[in-house]
Amino acid sequence: MTEKEKCEAGLLYNANYDQQLISERVACKDLCLEYNALKNSDTQNRTQLIKKILGNTKENICIEPSFWCDYGYNIETGENFYANHNLTILDCAKVKFGDNVFIGPNCSFYTAGHPLDVKQRNEGLEYAHPITVGDNVWLGGNVVVLPGVTIGNNTVIGAGSVVTKNIPDNVVAVGNPCRVIKNIDEK
């Protein structure tokens, strides 16, 4: 089993020394650097390049520079996706965003995690678990979402939150660790 296949299966894998994974990350980082250097007024090239970087997007997508990801092909965005400056997505596993997702500045989505066992960690092993963000979600600035988390539809995540566990539909959740503080009425 290759390191990439181990990663896709959610097993421990080594991303630090696997030439296939290294070359895929290098190619993606070069595209991110190119994207981040484009003028904001160059909307046509910005749109074309972000759609080249990401695995699957709908038509209406805007990601303000700077933007960084590891592979790109593991990221899927729905329609009407907006991310403010300094978005980081460590997409070793799938990261899926629904429709009408709005992300504040300085947000991060980390699918990669590392073993607690020091020997395994020092060998460069890691794991990757997917992240899913539902439809109609708003994440305030400086939110961090950790591996394996699902955020439900119609949910608001308050600024500065660290989302360590799943968050249900129709709630406001805040804090470190992020927790539900309020249900959102559909009125």
Alpha-helical (H) ranges within the chain are 3-8, 19-37, 43-53, 118-122
Active-site residue flag, 114: yes
Distance between first and last Cα of the chain: 51
* Euclidean distance between CA atoms 147 and 127, whole angstroms: 9
Of 88, 46, 49, the closest CA to residue 69 belongs to 88
In the set 29, 85, 114, 129, the catalytic residue is 114
Distance of CA 142 to the CA centre of its chain: 13
Long-range contact list for 115-122, CB < 8 A, 24+ apart? 115/12, 120/12
* Euclidean distance between CA atoms 73 and 87, whole angstroms: 16
Of 27, 15, 1, the closest CA to residue 92 belongs to 15
Of 63, 59, 81, the closest CA to residue 138 belongs to 81
Q: Which residues are catalytic?
A: 114
